[in-house]
Amino acid sequence: MAPTEGVVWSDGSSAAASSPGRLGLDEASRSAALELAETAMGLFARPDVPYEVWWADLEPVLSARGTAAYVTVDPARIPVRQVSGPAGLPGWTTPEVARVSVPTDVGSYLVVVSRSDADPVWRVERFIAPGVLS
């Protein structure tokens, strides 16, 4: 299979040849979203770490919105302590946003990651606790 065969691009096309600035719904993008979500959840789930250390580790994986949302969080108040299994990405339909399920010791968190044509690196928007969306 050619590297771009079967890829759906951020402009909605499925042409085999990519052009600069188009994000794809491909296996490499999916794997990167899963890896980031799992890593970020591990960084988030550390209530015993001093704020300065917690923030220095977490901030680089956050988007601008994520940074604004979590800069004032006290990690000691976070109930989750560890990731308990591999992340999953059911129903991924857009190359710009992925809603990744990450199992933890308190249930599965939803980690929302995003990227854009201008900044194609996945970054965390939100950590959504189990039960919040039900």
What is the Cα–Cα distance from 131 to 19, expressed in whole angstroms?
Answer: 40
Residue 55's alpha-carbon distances to 43, 50, 60, 105, 126, in angstroms, are 9, 9, 9, 21, 15
| pTM of the entire predicted model | 0.82
CATH number of the domain located at residue range(s) 27-128 in this protein = 3.10.450
Task: Report pLDDT digits (tens) over 101-133.
Answer: 999 999 999 999 999 988 899 999 999 999 876
Per mean pLDDT, which of 5-9, 19-23, 97-101 is the most reliable?
97-101
Kindly state the greatest CA–CA separation across the chain. Answer: 49
Residue with tokens 């999953």: 88
